[in-house]
């Protein structure tokens, strides 16, 4: 099937490449000429495990262009996978979605299905269909369908090719038939709903997971006060099949392109319709406060950080991605700099993106290795649980740091093992602090 995909970010590019892997002829469209040139050279502009290999494998079925008219003209299905960034009031910015819709109406020459893959507020599919068909003015028929993505950065390829479910929201048999053809051969449950239900499934799913993370973080904070261990608590909870073990890892909050934006968007949508989702509002508040926890913990060991050499391990919001969107490091590192700290930072893939996102970034010493970052540091913050960090021998902190004080925002190490290391301070989330000074 001839398919076009608008947008080559995480959603669009992963979708396009995976659809090519499923046997379709796919054209990826973007307005960023530099990005298109990179892809035309056979390279992916984003870091995502397995994506480069699939891109190379399916190069004969993939093309990349800025010429939307050529891409959309004869396509049977057009996916919209552009960004819907958060506006200042928390609502979703749909300007990119509607801009693509205008281009599609201007370009298509045959009846086709336009599939909104981007996360959009309930009712957006209706508006897009109305806009496109108004522009077409009866010249031909365009069908609009909702097909929300459920991919996570770091596992996006796996999440697409081996999805937990494929949700399609349609209002006619033509759209349903075409989308079933698109996904034919993929082994995943197919959920067919109307468009508004599909749009809501995406928000309801992401916000539920955000609630789960914020809940376990609040329990973790209470565990520190009453002397319980959050990892033991989470393990005991996880054996209940109604709860499970996923998203029960306490830490310094969620980040990325989905949970922060989608919780705020759903909360805004509810308020706009004279409703209030109190649980989602609480999750947003808890998450923002959680990001500040490492700095608050540091105050127990230093009255102020002026002139203190600080090691930062991990900048991205989670391992397996170079994505910095809503990462706790973007909140905490500027505070460290404002407090006068001397900051050394390490991340295996996120440094260049971090430099683009932060002011005063030139004041930071970016290191190539964890060992170089820790050398002579007086306190260390762990913001991302990269495998290299988790594999580090705790004795290295004592050996390399001037003052081995470790604030672990991701609970990378066993508290019992840390108790065996003399001279070290280990302060994590929801567990008793170790102070062996």
C-alpha closest to that of 82 among 71, 98, 104, 97: 97
Sign of CA dihedral 34, 36, 39, 44: positive
- For residue 429, the model assigns a pLDDT of 98
Q: Does the domain at residues 202-289 carry the CATH identifier 1.10.606.20?
A: no
CATH number of 2-193: 3.40.50.720
In 108-223 the beta strands, taken as DSSP E runs, fall at 112-116, 142-146, 166-169, 190-193
Residues of the chain with CATH 1.10.1040.10: 202-289
Name the fold adopted by 293-435.
Rossmann fold (3.40.50)
d(CA 349, CA 285): 29
Token look-up 């905490």 returns: 332
Q: In what order do the strands lie in the sheet with 434-435?
A: 365-366, 342-346, 309-313, 379-382, 405-408, 425-427, 434-435
Residues of the chain with CATH 3.40.50.720: 2-193, 293-435
Instruction: Take residue 264 and report the two structure tokens written for it.
Output: 């705020």
C-alpha closest to that of 379 among 338, 343, 346: 343
d(CA 188, CA 163): 6
DSSP code of residue 46: S
Contact 349, 388 (CB under 8 A): no
Catalytic residue numbers read: 258
> Which parts of the chain register pLDDT below 70?
none
d(CA 296, CA 224): 14
- The pTM of the full predicted model, rounded to 2 decimals, is 0.91
- For residue 197, the model assigns a pLDDT of 98
How far, rounded to the nearest angstrom, does the alpha carbon of residue 37 sit from its chain's CA centroid? 25
Q: What is the SS3 string spanning 201-238? A: HHHHHHHHHHHHHHHHHHHHHHHHHHCCCHHHHHHHHH
- For residue 90, the model assigns a pLDDT of 87
d(CA 54, CA 65): 19
The CA dihedral of 195, 199, 205, 210, to the nearest 10 degrees, is -170
Cβ-proximal residues to 119 (8 Å cutoff; 6+ apart), any chain: 84, 92, 148, 149, 202, 203, 206, 258, 261, 262, 265
Contact 129, 161 (CB under 8 A): no
Instruction: Take residue 132 and report the two structure tokens written for it.
Output: 């496109």
d(CA 310, CA 223): 27
């Amino acid at each position: 099937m001839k398919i076009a995909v608008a947008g080559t970010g995480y959603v669009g590019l992963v979708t396009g490449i995976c659809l090519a892997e499923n046997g379709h002829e796919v054209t990826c469209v973007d307005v960023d000429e530099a990005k298109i040139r990179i892809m035309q050279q056979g390279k992916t502009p984003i870091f995502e495990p397995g994506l480069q290999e699939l891109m190379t494998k399916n190069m004969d079925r993939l093309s990349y262009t800025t010429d939307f008219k050529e891409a959309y003209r004869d396509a049977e299905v057009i996916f919209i996978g552009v960004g819907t960034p958060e506006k200042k009031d928390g609502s979703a910015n749909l300007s990119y979605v509607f801009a693509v819709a205008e281009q599609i109406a201007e370009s298509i020459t045959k009846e086709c299905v336009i599939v909104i893959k981007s996360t959009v507020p309930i009712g957006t599919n209706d508006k897009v269909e109305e806009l496109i068909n108004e522009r077409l003015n009866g010249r031909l028929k365009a069908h609009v369908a909702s097909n929300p993505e459920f991919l996570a950065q770091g596992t996006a390829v796996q999440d697409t090719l081996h999805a937990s479910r494929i949700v399609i929201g349609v209002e006619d048999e033509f759209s349903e038939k075409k989308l079933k053809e698109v996904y034919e051969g993929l082994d995943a449950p197919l959920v067919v709903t109307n468009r508004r239900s599909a749009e809501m499934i995406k928000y309801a799913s992401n916000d539920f997971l955000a609630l789960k993370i914020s809940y376990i973080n609040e329990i973790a904070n209470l565990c520190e006060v009453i002397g319980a261990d959050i990892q033991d608590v989470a393990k005991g909870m996880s054996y209940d099949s109604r709860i499970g073990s996923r998203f029960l890892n306490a830490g310094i909050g969620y980040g990325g392109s989905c949970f922060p934006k989608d919780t705020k968007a759903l909360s805004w949508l509810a308020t706009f319709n004279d409703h209030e989702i109190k649980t989602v509002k609480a999750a947003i508040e808890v998450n923002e406060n959680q990001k500040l926890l490492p700095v608050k913990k540091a105050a127990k060991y230093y009255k102020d950080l002026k002139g203190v050499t600080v090691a930062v391990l991990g900048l991205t919001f989670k391992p397996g991605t170079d994505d910095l969107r809503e990462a706790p490091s973007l909140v905490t590192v500027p505070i460290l700099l404002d407090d006068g700290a001397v900051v050394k930072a390490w991340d295996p893939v996120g440094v260049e993106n971090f430099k683009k996102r932060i002011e005063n970034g030139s004041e930071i010493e970016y290191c190539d290795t964890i060992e170089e970052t820790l050398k002579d540091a007086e306190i260390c913050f762990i913001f991302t649980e990269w495998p290299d960090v988790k594999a580090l021998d705790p004795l290295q902190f004592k050996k390399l740091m001037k003052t081995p004080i470790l604030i672990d925002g991701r609970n990378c190490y066993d508290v019992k093992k840390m108790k065996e290391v003399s001279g070290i301070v280990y302060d994590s989330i929801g567990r008793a602090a170790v102070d062996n000074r």
